[in-house]
């Protein structure tokens, strides 16, 4: 009946370590919990007797009209959840008219997924999530492959210069099983370790020497004709800087609580980012979206669309493509019901549904 039913059922199908990788988070998992709670605690103030006939969930995003404002977030190694992995997710996402953001660390070749996804007439957007690699030549070749395969935008993830301390995952002894790998990174050689002197940090004096910075955005834009969105923005000043660097959009995200524990919830960060961006580019949000009412609230706060993470993997675990499709169908149906019950004929009315009045977001240019 609900996305949480899918979660409960998926739990019974996976072993402890796959569960820990797919559904755990960093530290004490407080941000994971607060992402959920923040949407739940935001209340709606319904309007009645408004005309609703002919309503719809359509939104405009980067020059396209989408049937509804839901995209699947980039998630690595989906073959851990189901043998059909990313293929099943792509099939269901395209069929349900949702957008797909395909992870650099996917366990399926990016070309296969694109050709499957782009075949569906009613599909949503197809974007490629990029982690900048230490090897610029390799990164450039990866971007060129994504362009050639038909991906329509790049989503550069900027909130994970290092993996978070995912304690539950480490406790479970998680290792990628045979046959599940980041196949699109085949051929990438690990950077040569720098010899450290006493007192130097393996993190600051080695690993982070390869971390992306604002300068890399200009470089990335110079090697691609695709729009570049930045994923993992929480601070309004970073949102402003993203716009100044030519980003085509920002995604308010804390990586679903998988990087920095106790980072603010995305629902609480969203309004200031929307204000900072002033409609210059679309703002999207992810983290803790589990109900149609959550989607309505996000749009009401000024998001152009939302990304759905773990629930898609719960559906995938339970029933492959059918499970992902079911999750998307449930969420979209709930969104329509929430719109009708708050008096929103279209999502342009969503700000009126919020109990707390926020400055009315300016629609993106
Ligand atoms: C198993 C898993 C793998 C993920 N892999 C990536 C990834 O490769 N790249 C990325 O930018 N975000 C990744 N994320 C974060 C998601 O894109 C998204 O920000 C987050 O899951 C949203 O929160 P939600 O799961 O509460 O919906 C991953 C999340 C999960 C659960």
What's the pLDDT tens digit per position in 12-25?
999 999 999 999 99
What's the pLDDT tens digit per position in 146-168?
999 999 999 999 999 999 999 99
The angle, 0 to 180 degrees and rounded to 10, between the axes of the packed helices 110-118 and 136-149 is 20
Instruction: Classify 3-175+207-353 by CATH class.
Output: alpha beta
Cβ of 309 closer than 6 Å to ligand 1, yes or no, is yes
| Domain map (residue ranges) of the chain | 3-175+207-353
Q: Which residues contact 1 (CB under 8 A, 6 or more apart)?
A: 330
Pocket test for ligand 1, best of 17, 75, 156, 168 (most atoms within 8 A of CB): 75
User: Length of the chain, please?
Assistant: 365
Separation of alpha carbons 290 and 334, rounded Å = 10
> Is 255 labeled as catalytic in the residue annotation?
yes
E-state strands within 124-236: 126-130, 153-157, 228-233
Position 361 scores a pLDDT of 66
Nearest CA owner, ligand 1 atom 29: 75
Position 364 scores a pLDDT of 76
Residues of the chain with pLDDT under 70: 359-361, 365
What are the residues facing 342 on neighbouring strands?
Answer: none
Position 19 scores a pLDDT of 98
Cβ atoms 347, 299 nearer than 8 A: yes
Closest ligand 1 atom to the C-alpha of 21?
A: 1
Q: Which of 134, 255, 314, 326 is catalytic?
A: 255
Closest ligand 1 atom to the C-alpha of 159?
A: 11
**If you measure from the C-alpha of residue 115 to the centroid of ligand 1, how many angstroms do you get, rounded to a whole number?**
23
Closest ligand 1 atom to the C-alpha of 289?
A: 27
190 burial class (0-12, 13-18, 19+ CB within 10 angstroms)? Answer: exposed
Position 357 scores a pLDDT of 73
Position 360 scores a pLDDT of 67
What's the pLDDT tens digit per position in 192-245?
888 899 999 999 998 898 889 999 999 999 999 999 999 999 999 999 999 999
Q: Which residues contact 237 (CB under 8 A, 6 or more apart)?
A: 276
Phi and psi at 99, nearest 5°, equal -90, 155
Nearest CA owner, ligand 1 atom 28: 75
Cα 82–74–208 angle (5° rounding)? 115
């Amino acid at each position: 009946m609900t996305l949480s039913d899918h979660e409960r059922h998926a739990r019974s199908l996976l072993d402890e370590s796959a569960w820990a990788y797919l559904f755990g988070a960093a530290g004490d998992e407080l941000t994971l919990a607060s992402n959920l709670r923040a949407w739940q605690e935001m209340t709606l103030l319904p309007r009645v007797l408004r005309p609703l006939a002919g309503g719809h969930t359509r939104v405009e995003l980067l020059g396209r009209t989408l049937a509804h404002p839901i995209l699947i977030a980039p998630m690595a190694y989906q073959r851990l959840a189901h043998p059909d992995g990313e293929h099943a997710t792509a099939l269901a996402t395209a069929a349900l008219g949702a957008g797909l953001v395909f992870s650099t660390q996917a366990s399926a070749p990016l070309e296969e997924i694109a050709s499957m996804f782009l075949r569906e007439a009613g599909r949503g957007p197809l974007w490629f999530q990029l982690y900048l690699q230490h090897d610029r030549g390799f990164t450039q070749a990866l971007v060129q492959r994504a362009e050639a395969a038909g991906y329509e935008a790049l989503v550069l993830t900027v909130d994970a210069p290092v993996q978070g301390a995912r304690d539950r995952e480490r406790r479970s002894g998680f290792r990628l099983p045979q046959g599940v790998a980041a196949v699109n990174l085949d051929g990438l050689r690990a950077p040569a370790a720098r010899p450290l002197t006493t007192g130097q940090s393996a993190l600051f004096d080695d690993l982070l020497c390869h971390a992306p910075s604002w300068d890399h955005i200009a470089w990335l834009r110079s090697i691609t004709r695709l729009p570049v969105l930045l994923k993992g923005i929480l601070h309004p000043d970073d949102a402003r800087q993203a716009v100044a660097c030519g980003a085509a959009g920002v995604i308010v995200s804390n990586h679903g609580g998988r990087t920095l524990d106790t980072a603010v919830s995305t629902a609480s960060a969203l309004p200031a980012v929307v204000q900072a961006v002033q409609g210059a580019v679309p703002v999207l949000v992810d983290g803790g979206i589990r109900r149609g009412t959550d989607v309505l609230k996000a749009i009401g706060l000024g998001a152009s669309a939302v990304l759905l993470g773990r629930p898609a993997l719960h559906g995938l675990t339970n029933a492959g493509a059918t499970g992902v499709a079911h999750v998307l169908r449930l969420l979209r149906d709930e969104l329509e019901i929430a719109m009708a019950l708050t008096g929103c004929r279209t999502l342009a009315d969503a700000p009126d549904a919020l109990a707390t009045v926020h400055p009315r977001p300016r629609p993106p240019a």
